[in-house]
């Protein structure tokens, strides 16, 4: 890590203080020089005292209510930048940062001068199966995917440019926030990281996957069933709404039309199949509701 660099890690807690304690401990114990800031999203369950008991002097931003992930993490990013952060690592509170991860990411930014956003390879918690190893986005169909999700480690440790980095563990240069702003709070949760990377790309900032940097993710501890990709009603609503909303915000002309059809003719049938397999009727209704809300927004011309 170069002299004068001040990386901050920002994580959002909501009623899962035990996970947050494990997350913060993993950052502090294996990544020297990283300052940690926790945003508590109105937990009111003793989370803050528990965090301070484990980490006296820990920086905590307390929100009076659950503002959603995007607003919550933005408050943390804003505070980190005000305190002089040169880089900000957003990390989910149910993620574990392995030793040396932040240094690997910082070094990668030096190796790739056009990179503004970098992220690690992420495994499911306690397993050797990958959850994230680079994100892909089809600009003509408006479809995003984790191509190597649920696979064993392929052993490829070479950095590579990708379409997007997951906000589960994403290191961003401070100048990127100054140039393009923070996460779009309209998304609340899900796809806010993809939209951010696409917006950064439009300004010339590249996103890079750094496989030698490694994290683990418990997956969905605050929005669903821990360790699962189950399509819960809460998740289904935002899946139905946010991808169509992203297309409406970031596309125009012919690509807007083709992305709309991609969402309607490919993504909806895909998620309906997933929901049917899982037998989640409430999730089906919530997905449709989210999609309709995004469609109304698109027709109404809301940006």
| pLDDT score, position 264 | 87
Q: What is the SS3 assignment for 214?
A: strand
Residue 28 within a domain: yes
pLDDT band at 224 (very low <50, low <70, confident <90, very high): very low
Q: In the chain, pLDDT over 90 holds for what percent of residues?
A: 67
Residue 226 inside a domain? The answer is no
pLDDT in the model for residue 28: 96
Domain match, 204 and 264 both: no
Same-domain check for residues 211 and 124? yes
Q: What is the pLDDT of residues 147-202, one digit of tens each?
A: 889 999 988 899 999 999 999 999 999 999 999 999 999 998 889 999 999 999 99
Query: Token pair for residue 175?
Result: 């100048």
At residue 233 the predicted structure's pLDDT band, cuts being 50, 70 and 90, is confident
Report the pLDDT averaged over residues 47-57.
96
Q: Where among 217, 250, 266 does a domain terminate?
A: 217
Q: Based on the domain organization, do 211 and 247 belong to the same domain?
A: no
| Residue range(s) defining the domain that contains residue 90 | 7-217
179 burial (CB, 10 Å; 0-12 / 13-18 / 19+) is: middle
pLDDT at 223 over 70: no
Does a structural domain hold residue 225?
no
Q: Which helix (DSSP H) or strand (DSSP E) does residue 171 occupy? A: strand 169-173
Residue 177: inside a domain: yes
Do 152 and 16 share a structural domain?
A: yes
Give the global pTM: 0.91
Mark whether 131 and 248 lie in a shared domain: no
CATH code where residue 18 lies: 3.90.550.60
Shared-domain flag, residues 33 and 171: yes
Strands (E) across 4-58 are located at: 7-13, 35-41
Q: Is residue 183 part of a domain?
A: yes
Q: What is the mean pLDDT of residues 288-299?
A: 89
Residue whose structure tokens are 């899900």: 190
Q: For the ranges 40-54, 112-126, 249-263, which has the lowest average pLDDT?
A: 249-263
Q: Which of 167, 183, 217 is the last residue of a domain?
A: 217
Q: What pLDDT is stored for residue 227 in this prediction?
A: 43
Greatest CA span in the chain, whole angstroms? 55
Residue with tokens 């297309």, as numbered in its chain: 247
Number of independent structural domains in the chain: 2
Pick from 121, 189, 186, 124: nearest CA to 160:
121
Q: What is the mean pLDDT of the chain?
A: 91
What pLDDT is recorded for position 229? Answer: 59
Task: Report the Cα 42 to chain-centroid distance in Å.
Answer: 20
Over the stretch 261-293, which tens digit does the pLDDT of each residue have?
888 898 888 888 888 887 777 888 898 899 999
Q: Which of 171, 191, 217 is the last residue of a domain?
A: 217
Mean pLDDT along residues 136-155: 89
**How large is the average pLDDT for residues 224-229?**
48
Does 164 lie in the same domain as 24?
yes
In a domain, residue 2? The reply is no
pLDDT tens by residue, 82-95: 999 999 999 999 99
Question: Model confidence over 59-89: pLDDT tens digits?
Answer: 999 999 999 999 999 999 999 999 999 999 9
């Amino acid at each position: 890590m170069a002299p004068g660099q001040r990386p901050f890690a920002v994580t959002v807690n909501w009623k899962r203080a035990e996970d947050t304690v494990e997350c913060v401990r993993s950052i502090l114990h294996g990544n020297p020089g990283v300052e940690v800031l926790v945003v508590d999203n109105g937990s009111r369950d003793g989370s803050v005292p528990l965090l301070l008991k484990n980490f006296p002097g820990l920086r905590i931003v307390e929100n009076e209510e659950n503002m959603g992930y995007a607003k919550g993490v933005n408050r943390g990013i804003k505070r980190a930048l005000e305190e002089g952060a040169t880089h900000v690592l957003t990390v989910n509170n149910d993620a574990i940062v392995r030793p040396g991860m932040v240094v690997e990411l910082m070094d990668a930014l030096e190796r790739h001068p056009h990179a503004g956003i970098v992220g690690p390879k992420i495994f499911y918690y306690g397993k050797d199966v990958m959850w994230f190893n680079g994100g892909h986005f089809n600009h003509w169909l408006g479809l995003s995917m984790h191509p190597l999700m649920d696979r064993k480690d392929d052993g490829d440790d070479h950095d590579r440019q990708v379409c997007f980095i997951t906000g589960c563990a994403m290191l961003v240069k401070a100048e990127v926030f100054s140039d393009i702003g923070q996460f779009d709070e309209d998304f609340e949760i899900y796809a806010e990281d993809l939209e951010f990377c696409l917006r950064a790309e439009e300004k010339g900032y590249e996103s890079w996957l750094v496989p030698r940097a490694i994290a683990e993710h418990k997956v969905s501890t605050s929005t669903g069933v821990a360790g699962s990709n189950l399509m819960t009603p809460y998740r289904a609503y935002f899946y139905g709404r946010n991808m169509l909303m992203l297309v409406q915000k970031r596309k125009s002309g012919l690509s807007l039309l083709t992305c709309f059809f991609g969402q309607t003719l490919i993504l909806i049938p895909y998620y309906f199949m997933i929901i049917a397999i899982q037998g989640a009727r409430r999730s089906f209704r919530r997905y449709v509701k989210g999609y309709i809300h995004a469609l109304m927004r698109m027709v109404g011309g809301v940006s």
